[in-house]
Each structure stands twice: as structure tokens, then as C-alpha cells.
Amino acid sequence: MPVREMIDTYPADINLDRGQIADTVQALLDCAQACTACADACLSEQEIDRLRKCIRTDLDCADICEATARVLSRHTGYDANITRAQLQACIQACTSCAEECERHAGMHEHCRLCAQACRGCASDCRRLLDAIS
């Protein structure tokens, strides 16, 4: 079921643009999937020792993106301070993951794609954070 359809069904008012929330949640879910797949692909590479940090960063980013998507999907009893903090943590995780994956992007296409997803997700989270502030 599309993210936007679910957010549009929320019966009460939401202080933010529902489309922007939906786009950010989708970017978070896409990024989490890319990070999980990248970590798994790294585990299949021959020189796994060089990819340990990348794997760890991928997995941390995936977990943080998934948690952020869940926070953004809940609106009852909304607390802007929690949402801001979660978005800030996610922006940092995505930025760190993108930087690490970019170090390996020349040799591993999965790292290039993951870095791209992380950069896009961080950008969407920044735009939503700006709308909250």
C-alpha cells in the first residue's frame, strides 16, 4: 500500500504537508532497503575486511531510517521535539553512510547506489526538518 494513501487517511489535522511527509517516509524506506542490500552485498565481496566499516554504517543507517519512518508515520500526540531530534539523527546517519559508501563506489556499484540513496534521503529529511523548525 502506498505511503501517501495511508498518511492521507489520518482523520485529524497534521501541522505539516502530508505530501512532504509521505515523500520523506518513502525516501526513508527506500534508503533503509538500499543500506540493507548494500551491507549484504558487502558481505559477499572478496575483500570483506576493507568493508567492515561500510557494513556497520549501512546497518546503522538502515535501522535509523526505519525508526524515523515509523516516527513520521505517527501523528497522534505529536511531539515536534522528538521528530526534530529523530530527523537530525537520520540526517547524520545518512550523511555518514553516504561518505563511507562513496569511498568504495569506484569498485562496488552497490556502494554507489547506496550512497546515492543516502544523499537523497538526507536531503528529504533536511527539507522536512526545515518545515518543522
**For 10-63, what is each residue's pLDDT tens digit?**
777 888 888 899 999 999 999 999 999 999 999 999 989 999 999 999 999 999
Whether residue 44 lies inside any domain: the answer is yes
Residue of higher predicted confidence among 70 and 78: 70
* Residue 1 banded pLDDT, cuts 50, 70, 90: low
Quick one: DSSP state of residue 15? S
Inter-residue contact 32 to 62 (CB < 8 Å): yes
CA dihedral over 100, 102, 106, 110, signed as positive or negative: positive
Whether residue 109 lies inside any domain: the answer is yes
Q: How many domains is the chain partitioned into structurally?
A: 1
Other CB atoms within a 10 A radius of the CB of residue 8 amount to 12
| Statement: residue 65 has pLDDT above 90 | yes
Whether residue 1 lies inside any domain: the answer is no
Percent of the chain past pLDDT 70, that is, above it, reads 98
* Residue 5 banded pLDDT, cuts 50, 70, 90: confident
Helices and strands, counts by H and E, the chain: 5, 0
Other CB atoms within a 10 A radius of the CB of residue 2 amount to 9
Quick one: DSSP state of residue 50? G
Query: Mean pLDDT, the chain, as a whole number?
Result: 93
Grid coordinates belonging to 25:
517516509
Whether residue 66 lies inside any domain: the answer is yes
Query: Nearest CA to 118 among 48, 35, 42?
Result: 35
What pTM value is reported for the model?
0.94
What CATH number does the domain containing 112 carry?
1.20.1270.360
Query: Nearest CA to 131 among 18, 24, 4, 16?
Result: 16
